[in-house]
Amino acid sequence: MTEEDKKRISKYMGWSYRETDDKKWWNIIGKDGATHLLDANDAAICVQEMQKRGDVGSFIQFSWGLKTIYPERRNSLLEYIPYIFNAENFFNAMSEWLKERGK
């Protein structure tokens, strides 16, 4: 993911973020200021937030339609599902979806 992808996703999630000395991005989550590195486990948290906001359908429709970015993944649902369940692919699609929505 690019810096912009991480910023876009963090903004959607309501997370604060900062860059550490070793150039890794951290999300500051919660009132206690606890931090953790944005990683594959956060994809599930993002989906949960999309569900809460009623955005899951919009995201799935958009990510399925990313034919210009992922043309090989539009052939079948059986290819799309494992593809989007890969955290890197999910975050890339989420960032594109947020960019398209102007968030």
pLDDT of residue 61: 85
Domain boundaries along the sequence of the chain: 3-101
pLDDT for the residue 68: 44
Give 76-94 pLDDT, tens digit per residue.
777 778 788 888 889 999 9
Please give the backbone phi and psi of residue 19, each rounded to the nearest 5 degrees, phi first: -100, 130
The H-or-E segment that residue 76 falls in is none
If you write DSSP's letter for every residue of 32-50 in order, what string do you get?
T--EEE--TTHHHHHHHHH
User: What are the mean pLDDT values of the chain's consecutive 10-residue runs (103 residues total)?
Assistant: 86 80 68 75 91 94 68 65 85 93 77
Question: CA 81 → CA 60, 72, 74, 98, distances in Å?
Answer: 10, 13, 10, 20
Model-level pTM?
0.79
In this prediction, residue 17 carries a pLDDT of 74
